[in-house]
């Protein structure tokens, strides 16, 4: 980013993210983490590997790591119930100030967006183009992988990848949230080193 600020325009070049292409059964192309890299991560124990978040009229959230560090991989399965407005995961979260970066899933819009939350009346992150269309259906299981390497993050879900840059580090938490609905998270695994 120009001047190293989240609100400044992109300065192109500098980061290469390797993806593995594969063909789905319906003939369309999809992406995933290359197998070579997939096997190199070292797992760190987490206190809980399954939980639910539910709130019909506001936010519910849960911190799963308070000191994430600046390099990690997070894998989990997620399922959301019908009429869920939005859900997501925040990185470099500071719960005291309620600020962090997020992959924000919007089932009604069938998309996932990278943003910096909270979303004030003014934007806090130049995230034009940082969204992907994804078919989000209630009661379906979605396997998600997120890799954070300092100021770069990459999301893999259902054959879709979305990478983004995070210029600031407001905190060190990893937090799941739901807005108006219900999600279940399970098979939660956290990796923080390479072998």
For 154-180, how does the pLDDT look when each residue is reduced to its tens digit (9 = 90+)? 999 999 999 999 999 999 999 999 999
* Residue 13 reports pLDDT greater than 70: no
Contact (Cβ atoms closer than 8 angstroms) between residue 101 and residue 76: no
Contact (Cβ atoms closer than 8 angstroms) between residue 2 and residue 112: no
Residue 171 CA to residue 4 CA, distance in Å, equals 17
Residue 125 CA to residue 74 CA, distance in Å, equals 23
* Residue 48 reports pLDDT greater than 90: no
User: What pLDDT, on a 0 to 100 scale, did the predictor assign at position 35?
Assistant: 80
Contact (Cβ atoms closer than 8 angstroms) between residue 90 and residue 172: no
Helix, strand, or coil here: 63?
A: strand
Contact (Cβ atoms closer than 8 angstroms) between residue 142 and residue 77: yes
Helix, strand, or coil here: 109?
A: helix
| Confidence tier at 76 by pLDDT (50, 70, 90) | very high
Model pTM score: 0.91
> Per residue in 61-88, is it b (16+ CB within 10 Å) or e — as a string?
beebbeebeeebbbbbebbbeeebebbb
Phi-psi category of residue 101: left, alpha or beta, with phi > 0 → left and psi -120 to 50 → alpha: beta
User: What pLDDT, on a 0 to 100 scale, did the predictor assign at position 121?
Assistant: 65
């Amino acid at each position: 980013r120009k001047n190293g600020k989240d609100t400044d325009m992109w300065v192109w070049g500098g980061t290469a993210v390797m993806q593995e292409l594969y063909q789905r059964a319906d003939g369309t192309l999809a992406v995933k983490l290359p197998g070579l890299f997939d096997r190199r991560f070292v797992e760190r124990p987490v206190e809980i590997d399954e939980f639910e978040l539910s709130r019909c009229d506001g936010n519910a959230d849960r911190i799963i790591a308070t000191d994430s560090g600046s390099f990690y991989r997070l894998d989990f399965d997620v399922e959301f119930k019908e009429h869920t407005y939005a859900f997501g995961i925040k990185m470099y979260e500071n719960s005291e100030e309620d600020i962090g970066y997020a992959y924000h899933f919007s089932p009604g819009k069938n998309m996932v967006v990278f943003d910096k939350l909270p979303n004030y009346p003014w934007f806090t992150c130049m995230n034009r183009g940082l969204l992907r269309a994804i078919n989000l259906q209630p009661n379906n299981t979605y396997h998600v992988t997120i890799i954070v390497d300092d100021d770069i993050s990459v999301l893999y879900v259902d054959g879709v990848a979305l990478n983004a840059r995070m210029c600031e580090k407001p905190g060190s938490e990893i937090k799941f949230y739901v807005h108006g609905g219900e999600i279940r998270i399970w098979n939660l695994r956290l990796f923080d080193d390479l072998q």
